[in-house]
A = this chain, B = another copy of it.
Amino acid sequence: MAADHTRTAIITAAERLYAERGFADVTMRDIVAAADVNLAAVNYHFGSKDELIAELFVTRSLATNRERLRELKAAEEAGDGRADINAIFAALVGPTLRGCLGPEKQRSDAARFMIRASIESVPPIRKIKNREVDHLKRFAAAMRRSLPDQDPADIFWALHFALAMAHQTIRDSERLTRMSDGLCDLNDVQAITDRVVAVAVMALTGKPAKAPLKEPAKAKARA
């Protein structure tokens, strides 16, 4: 256990510093000073600064994805293989929102790190996010089982929009607060999740007041 003490100290210090000050302002020398280890230790244990950031992000990201899939599985079992569409969207955006929003004072380093990762989108984190497609396809598949008559393209668009709303809310929560003069409550995570889910479900199944989402027959050339 003393063997990976250095490694652990680096991870802990790096996550805290990145959470506090963002990626742009924190140097490796800041990190090793806070962790009380030697400068070269970071490269020895992680290879590079980018790989350290990647490892931090992957660890937190995997935890969120596990929770997402756990909720998705529960929703599918509750519906005998055809989950309620609300539950699918809730499984998609709920874990992320709960992990990043909520009362500011009680946010962990991990939560604040993930918020930074959303806002600052540094190269190593973008690389990892680009590999999330397979994970998201599982949700698309669940939606198709839930609503087999829905146009597949609409399903992907709704999934895309749900993620857009959730992530933008994390990224720009401060702007939304300022724009609305505090009218939009960013502390009630459950209400935010419900709102995102409701809009996503409407985007997929609802009928707008005036213009229809699209012509019903479109890309159906084959079969």
Q: Could you tell me which A residues sit within 8 Å of B by CB distance?
A: 24, 86, 119-121, 123, 126, 129-130, 132-133, 136-137, 140, 152-153, 156-157, 159-161, 163-165, 167-169, 172, 174-176, 178-180, 183-185, 191, 194-195, 197-199, 201-203, 205-214, 219
Question: Which one of A140, A194, A206 has the greatest number of beta carbons of chain B within 10 Å?
Answer: A206
Choose from B191, B198, B208 the contact partner of A201 (Cβ within 8 Å): B208
- Chain B residue with Cβ nearest A173: B160
Choose from B156, B185, B205, B212 the contact partner of A179 (Cβ within 8 Å): B156
Assess whether B213 is in contact with A195, with CB atoms less than 8 Å apart.
yes
Assess whether B156 is in contact with A161, with CB atoms less than 8 Å apart.
no
For A211, list chain B residues within 8 Å (CB). Answer: 86, 194, 197-198
Assess whether A176 is in contact with B201, with CB atoms less than 8 Å apart.
no
Assess whether B214 is in contact with A206, with CB atoms less than 8 Å apart.
no
Assess whether A159 is in contact with B179, with CB atoms less than 8 Å apart.
yes
For A130, list chain B residues within 8 Å (CB). Answer: 174-175
Assess whether B136 is in contact with A179, with CB atoms less than 8 Å apart.
yes
